[in-house]
Amino acid sequence: MLDPETAAKFLNFMSGGAGICNLRTLTDCPSKKANPTGRNSSLQLPILPQDLLQLEAQNKQGRGIFWVVNEGGQKAADISAPRALYVDYDGDDLAGFLKRLDTMPPPHAVVESSHGKRHVYWKCHGVPVAEFEALQQGLIAQLGTDKSIHDLPRVMRVPGFLHQKDKAQLVRLLHLNENLPAYTLEQCRAFAKPLLAEKGRRTLRQPKLTAQATAPAGRNADVLAYFNNAALNLPPWPEIEAEQQAYDRKCITSAVAFLAEAGHAENHDDWQTVGADLKGCTRGVEGAEPALTDKEAFDLFVQFSGAAPNGAAGDLEYRWENIGTDIFGCGALLNRAKQAGWEPPPHPKSQRAKLTRALADTSNTVEAEAHKVSDDDLITNGKGHPVTCLANAVFVLGRAEKTKNAFRYNELTGNIEYRPYNTWRPLADADIPVLQLWIQRSAMPRIARADVEQAILVRGYAHKYHPIREWMDGLQWDGVPRVNTWLHTYLGAADNEYTRLVGRLFLIGMIARIQQPGCKMDNMLILEGPQGAGKSSALAILAGKDYFSDGLADISSKDASLAMRGRWLIEIAELAASSKAEAEHLKAFVSRNTERYRPPFGRLEVSEPRQCVLAGTTNVGTYLKDASGARRFWPVMVGHIDLEGLERDRNQLFAEALHLYQSGAIWWPTTAQQQALFMLEQDARFEADPWESYVEQYLQEESKTAAAEGKECRVTVANVATCRGINLEVSRTTTRENRRIVAILQRLGWIQKRTKGARYYVKNNATT
């Protein structure tokens, strides 16, 4: 895409902003059948982007755009004053050139004329014409650049236009220091070290070049960074031309509508002139592609003529055939409209157009924003330098070959992963300053660490992946059933209806937590057996070593939530050591589907759906202390554990479980299964209260008495507190003791009732 705004800015600054700027066009691309003869032209300063329309047309049809650096005219005899000293670097020792350049004062402008080639300018004033060549030769001798670039009427390529000798590429303005004053004659003599005439001939000595020279970080470090900045890939020529033609067509349509509304169709001469301009838009300039087709131009002419009073236009087809043609019709038409007050619509690459598109954009995902990386997304300031901001940091990371595919977001761990070479690993703190330094040297010297961190987050989040889900996608079940019997086959458990159901539900639940993070899975498998039996090793094999943990922190702290990130199965060991209070915490912890916490140094609370399941291990037979929460635990006594067999068949176990999940299988017991199978196993592990036998005997006696009298058996907490074996005084019972009695009553199947403010307990199957 041509960039007339940059061209105008460069020419205005380098030419001083007043007077005349002389230009020349020379053939770059003979295949476009351009006239090989150079064309000279001049523009009044200051130059506006729209003043370059004719040069744009010539550039499109294969001509290179050049400017005469010095002031006065196109020939040596016409030059009245040098505007700048300059060099043309086109060698293959960039590092050595940069080292020599760093010995010079800062330049005013750096232009990339083509890949690997640079023009460097130092503006000057007060330099006599007679001294110019000597100063140029001295500068060339010190920097080792093209020896021929010392004549007064030298022309150089204008940035913002295409260089087309080989592959079409944009001539880029890499650096423009508009705040730097022009160098005086004495300053120029000091750094250029002119080579003066000696015995009728000039001697031009080149310095010895060092092949392994490296660029230092000297006073020109900010400029050198632009030299090292790799050129961005431009879209191919047809795309460049098609985009510009679409914009030209939009401008022409807008300009014709404006002229019609302004009354230009009412004047016959104006009406005929606009018609000639439109007809010229169908011809192009010296072989360039026309801006309009014949039909498009005639349709616009009809619309424009509709504003003529009383049908003054007459037979439009006849008039159109006989009207004259202005070969520069497009530029002439747009200039005519601008003089009348018309403003062109925003260019697709302008900041105003970007804002308009942004306001109309309905996408709201980080992925969508991170993928919006293209040539026109680099935000620059008025001097053409990249602005130090997050958007530009995202742009650099998204376009550079070394980083555009180097970040991804792990949905299991919640971490950004980085691939500096060929291996993925978690992003480390030490990576941030390295990447920050690279961005500072290549594009934005003042980029902050915070911007780099946020840019990495955006780029990573645009490439999300889930390691376990991707692994599951590659599983193929061989059709052999294993899921129902895996606890018996590999862990040595009894082979019965209960263990078959527990094994099936647990594996499907593991699948569900990955496929549906945060789904209800408030049950915990408990493996019972002696120490050293291999219970923990079996769980580690089941989850995979990278996704298993047996080091969970205090479950009542946020550290427990942090420790669950990146895990698929977490072991809670030695359940028998839990107190009653700890059992309450465990019940609540197992029931949670979402982790909410604020990470260390984080500002906002994080809400993460659980992706892991829990399993417990113990070597004792009674460990459940909370009767109300016992249903959450699925105890299984293990025997001889076959770790090798479990590891061998692990993939097939999960392949079958995935098949069952995708077939709609559930991963929780039904009410009937809970009552018939699970409650028996859970009750056998319950750690009974020593008072329970006394309360149970008391309730049996009271039930017999009530039945003999034909009454409903009703008891209160106070009644139970005074029974034989407990023998508490009602007036001295504490809240803790009352709760203890209530827990025993509930465990024995008694429920609370209330009548006229009185509270009592009855057997669960009693009628009132």
| 752: in domain | yes
Specify whether 443 is located in the same domain as 489: no
* Residue 54: pLDDT over 50: yes
* Residue 339, pLDDT score: 81
Is the per-residue pLDDT at 360 higher than 50? yes
The model's confidence at residue 764, banded by pLDDT at 50, 70 and 90, is confident
Residues 754 and 635 in one domain: no
Rg of the chain on CA atoms, in Å: 42
Instruction: State yes or no: pLDDT of 576 exceeds 60.
Output: no
Name the pLDDT band for 197 (thresholds 50, 70, 90): very low
Which H or E run contains 25?
strand 20-27
Higher-pLDDT residue of 302 and 99 is 302
- Which of the listed ranges 107-116, 177-186, 348-357, 429-438 does the model predict with the highest average pLDDT? 429-438
Same-domain status, 108 and 206 = yes
Give the span between the Cα atoms of 456 and 406, in whole angstroms.
Answer: 9
Q: How far apart, in whole angstroms, are the C-alpha atoms of residue 12 and residue 34?
A: 28
Question: Is residue 661 located within the same domain as residue 746?
Answer: no
Could you tell me which of 421, 378, 379, 417 has the C-alpha nearest to residue 398? Answer: 378
Distances (CA, A) of 31 to 167, 194, 245: 12, 42, 20
In a domain, 225, yes or no: no
Of 182-186, 202-206, 312-316, the least confident: 202-206
Q: Verify that 328 and 439 share a domain, yes or no.
A: no
* Cβ atoms of residues 553 and 563 within 8 Å: yes
More confident site: 519 or 369: 519
CA nearest neighbour of 433 among 419, 421, 450, 416:
450
Name the residue range of residue 308's domain. 237-339
Residues in the chain: 768
Largest CA distance in the chain: 143
User: Which CATH number fits the domain that encloses residue 697?
Assistant: 1.10.10
> In this structure, are 502 and 648 located in the same domain?
yes
Least confident of 274-283, 494-503, 658-667: 274-283
Lowest mean pLDDT among 130-139, 297-306, 583-592, 702-711: 583-592
Residue 473 within a domain:
no
Look at residue 157 in the predicted model and tell me its pLDDT. Answer: 95
- Pick the residue with more confidence: 28 or 578? 28
Q: What is the mean predicted confidence (pLDDT) over 226-230?
A: 41
Residue 627 is encoded by which pair of tokens? 């009767």
- pLDDT at residue 28, rounded to an integer: 82
Domain boundary among 664, 684, 704: 684
What pLDDT does residue 137 have?
92
Q: Which CATH number covers residue 660?
A: 3.40.50
- The tens digit of pLDDT for each residue in 548-563 reads 998 776 777 777 888 8
Q: What is the DSSP string of 630-671?
A: GGGEEEEE--S--HHHHHHHHHHHHHHHHHHHHTT--SS--H
Q: Is the dihedral of CA 671, 672, 673, 675 positive or negative?
A: positive
Establish if 10 belongs to a structural domain: yes
Q: Which two tokens stand for residue 759?
A: 């509270």
C-alpha 330/C-alpha 579 separation (Å) is 88
- Is residue 344 included in any domain, yes or no? no
- Please say whether the dihedral angle defined by the alpha carbons of residues 229, 233, 237 and 240, taken in this order, is positive or negative: negative
The answer to whether 101 touches 224, Cβ cutoff 8 Å, is yes
* Rounded Cα distance, 576 and 529, in Å: 12
- Predicted confidence (pLDDT) at residue 3 exceeds the cutoff of 80: yes
- What is the C-alpha separation between 172 and 119, in angstroms, rounded? 10
pLDDT for residue 422: 82
DSSP 158: P
Q: Are 297 and 281 in contact (CB under 8 A)?
A: yes
Residue 474 has which token pair? 């590659």
Mean per-residue pLDDT, 189-200: 66
Please report the pLDDT score of residue 314 as a whole number: 59
The more confident residue out of 478 and 5 is: 478
**Shared domain check, 271 and 203:** no
Q: What is the pLDDT of residue 716?
A: 93
Stretch 385-409: mean pLDDT, rounded?
88
Q: Would you state the pLDDT for residue 284?
A: 57
For residue 38, pLDDT over 80 is answered with no
Which of 101-115, 157-171, 308-322, 602-616 has the weakest average pLDDT? 308-322
* Residue 224 pLDDT level (bands cut at 50, 70, 90): very low
Confidence label for 664 from pLDDT (cuts 50, 70 and 90): very high
Q: Is residue 229 part of a domain?
A: no
> How much is the pLDDT for 225?
47
Domain boundary, last residue among 659, 684, 709: 684
> What is the total count of domains within the chain?
5
Question: How far is 726 from 728, CA to CA, in rounded Å?
Answer: 6
DSSP string, 419-459: -SSSS-EE--TTHHHHHHHHHHHHT-TT--HHHHHHHHHHH
Residues 6+ away with beta carbon under 8 Å from 112:
118, 159, 171, 172, 174, 231
* In the predicted structure, residue 192 carries a pLDDT above the cut 90: no
The amino acid occupying position 723 is: C
Structure tokens at 40: 């000279």
Share of the chain above pLDDT 90, in %: 38
Model confidence at 102: pLDDT above 60 = yes
> Does one domain contain both 181 and 97?
yes
Q: pLDDT tens digit string along 237-289?
A: 344 456 667 778 888 999 999 998 888 888 888 888 888 888 888 875 444 56
Is the domain of 576 the same as that of 613?
Answer: yes
pLDDT band at 443 (very low <50, low <70, confident <90, very high): confident
| Amino acid letter, residue 610 | R
% of residues, the chain, pLDDT over 70: 83
Q: Distance of alpha carbon 261 from its chain centroid, rounded? A: 46
Query: Taking the model in full, what pTM does it have?
Result: 0.51
Q: Which of 640, 664, 684 is the last residue of a domain?
A: 684
Q: What is the pLDDT of residue 49?
A: 80
DSSP letter assigned to residue 386: B
Instruction: DSSP letter for 405, please.
Output: T
Kindly state whether residue 472 falls inside one of the protein's structural domains: no
**Looking at the structure, do residues 8 and 63 belong to the same domain, yes or no?**
yes
**Same domain for 140 and 244?**
no
Mean pLDDT, to the nearest integer, of 198-215?
Answer: 37
Rounded to an integer, what distance in angstroms lies between the CA atom of residue 99 and that of residue 474?
54
Q: Is residue 616 part of a domain?
A: yes
pLDDT higher at 716 or 51: 716
The DSSP-derived string for 497-521 is: HHHHHHHHHHHHHHHHHHHSTT---
Whether 106 has a pLDDT exceeding 70, the answer reads yes
The answer, yes or no, to whether residue 326 has pLDDT greater than 70, is no
Residue 325 has pLDDT above 80, yes or no: no
pLDDT at 310: 47
Pair 303, 378 in one domain = no
Tell me the C-alpha to C-alpha distance, in Å, between residue 215 and each of 103, 385, 596: 11, 21, 51
What mean pLDDT is predicted for residues 316-326? 79
Average pLDDT value for the chain: 82
- Evaluate if residue 220 carries a pLDDT over 50: no
